Amino acid sequence: MFERFTKIKDALSLYANDNKIESIFPEEWRVIECCLELLKPFEEATHEMSSSQALISSVIPIIQMHLKKLDDYLAKTSETDPIRLAASNLKTQFSSLEDNNLFAIATYLDPRYKHKFFKPVTEEKIKDAILKIVNDPVSTGSPESSPSWETSKRRRLEDALDPEPGISDLDENPLNWWKVNQSELKILSEIARRFLSSPPASVPSEQLFSGAGLIYDPLRKRLEPEKAAKLLFIKYNSPIFKFDY
């Protein structure tokens, strides 16, 4: 809305003047411009995280980059900036996301990011959380082990967690990397698949619901659920095979 306002600024001023409507004051235009500068990166991040190919492991890196932009914005603005408080509130809102194990472990197990976005203390906490999952007999299917065996396993897992990321291209799917290295990192690859498969948003599933609403209509309301599911599957997976229809 604000973007559209700035594009038709002159037309809005003329329309307001011709129809005796109170015009937008210069200081209000300044607020709109500040809002655009502040919120544009968040809009771009929202679109990126709403993609069906997005992984939950990208949330913390994107948030970290936005927090840096917020710091830069706050550093260059004055105390009288109209939306300085909004920028400070946004920074507070997103600053504690790395404390969430779901996001933190997924990011740490993504070979594109690994420990780049974590402090050493946070990294140790993430390692402990991963080792706790590995030592859980319910999740691994292994029996309880002796303390010496646990120490040995911890050392081996830490050695596996220490190497630098194996992916330099951010567009590459990290699950493919884990598939290639599955034989060497069997336990970690199982955990990685569990966490990296989580989507960052519910947008793709909501799109499926919308697609189902387009399939069912008053003239096709007796369509069997199994056939509707197949139609949805074909619609959303045909681009993988570059099928042109």
pLDDT by residue, tens only, the chain of 245 residues: 889 989 999 998 899 888 888 888 888 888 898 889 888 888 988 888 888 788 889 999 998 888 888 888 888 877 677 788 888 888 887 767 788 888 999 999 998 888 888 888 888 888 888 888 887 755 544 444 455 545 665 666 666 666 555 666 667 888 888 888 888 888 888 898 889 887 888 887 788 888 888 888 777 778 888 888 888 888 877 777 776 76
pTM over 0.85: no
What amino acid occupies position 44? E
Residue 27, classed as helix, strand or coil, is helix
Burial (CB count <10 Å: 0-12, 13-18, 19+), residue 25: exposed
> Token pair of 65, please?
């980059």
DSSP state of 77: S
C-alpha pair distances (Å), 135 with each of 109, 118, 139, 151, 163: 17, 23, 8, 11, 21
Q: How many whole angstroms separate alpha carbon 57 and alpha carbon 117?
A: 11
